Amino acid sequence: MAKSIDFPLTKVYVVEGSKRSSHSNAYFYGFFKNKRIVLFDTLLEEYSVLNKDIQEDSGMEPRNEEEGNSEEIKAKVKNKKQGCKNEEVLAVLGHELGHWKLGHTVKNIIISQMNSFLCFFLFAVLIGRKELFAAFGFYDSQPTLIGLLIIFQFIFSPYNEVLSFCLTVLSRRFEFQADAFAKKLGKAKDLYSALIKLNKDNLGFPVSDWLFSMWHYSHPPLLERLQALKTMKQH
């Protein structure tokens, strides 16, 4: 799949994330032609340590000989199984590779650098304003540290709120675009089921208030992403 989109993949790593938590994740890193993909073991259904414990439990004979209880235990074991199948893992990777192919990482770096340049430029302009220090009781001196606190904590506060909202909207847009890219690779159905499993494994809540999520969530809520994928599958 990486070769089909000219992704310069050199290695694939599996991180034993299950030693710390049951959270699932996948990402890539590296410069230029030396990219690596990292998968958490909790993402892989056939690899997850958590599933090995479940399989051991499922191999035990139930204490109650009634057939109904045996079926109930099997159903619980099946529901507890964590991780995604290989096809679903490929769909998740298709989403992550979409971020690379569409230049989302580069765009975020450029925005971050432009924001840093703007902040330091405004700091250089404002640090020499006497009235700024006078407003906070410093009439005879202009301490640089105090100026730093005033400018970045108070003056930039409204700007940071607006910037944070804009970056959240942009991040959500990038996520939808990456989902659409995975769909173009023929992974819409597998990504659909993978998102449900990951939300369940990571103890996410699928329902969110649209205003709250629009302001705070860098990723679209599960139901919005599923609805978008469902629309994609119908076309």
Confidence of residue 102 (pLDDT cuts 50, 70, 90): very high
* 29/132 Cα distance (integer angstroms): 43
- Domains along the chain with CATH numbers: 2-84 (3.30.2010), 100-231 (no CATH)
pTM for the predicted model, two decimal places: 0.75
> In the chain, how long is the greatest CA-to-CA distance?
87
Between helix 104-126 and helix 86-101 the angle, nearest 10°, is 50
Q: What is the pLDDT of residues 122-150, one digit of tens each?
A: 888 888 888 888 888 888 887 888 888 88
> Are residues 151 and 123 in contact, defined by beta-carbon separation less than 8 angstroms?
yes
Q: What is the pLDDT of residue 77?
A: 47
Q: What is the pLDDT of residues 24-35, one digit of tens each?
A: 888 888 888 889
Is 99 annotated as a binding-site member? yes
> Are residues 95 and 1 in contact, defined by beta-carbon separation less than 8 angstroms?
no
* 149/126 Cα distance (integer angstroms): 12
Average pLDDT (190-217) is 86
Specify burial of residue 166 (Cβ count, 10 A radius: 0-12, 13-18, 19+): exposed
Catalytic residue among 53, 66, 67, 96: 96
- 190 labelled catalytic: no
Is 16 annotated as a binding-site member? no
Q: SS3 helix, strand, coil % of the chain, rounded to 5? A: 65, 10, 30
- 179 labelled catalytic: yes
Higher-pLDDT residue of 137, 96: 96
200, amino acid identity: K
Q: What is the pLDDT of residue 135?
A: 82
Catalytic residue among 88, 179, 190, 224: 179
Give the position of tokens 């298709």.
Answer: 94
Q: What is the pLDDT of residue 163?
A: 93
Is 175 annotated as a binding-site member? yes
Classify 136 as helix, strand or coil.
coil
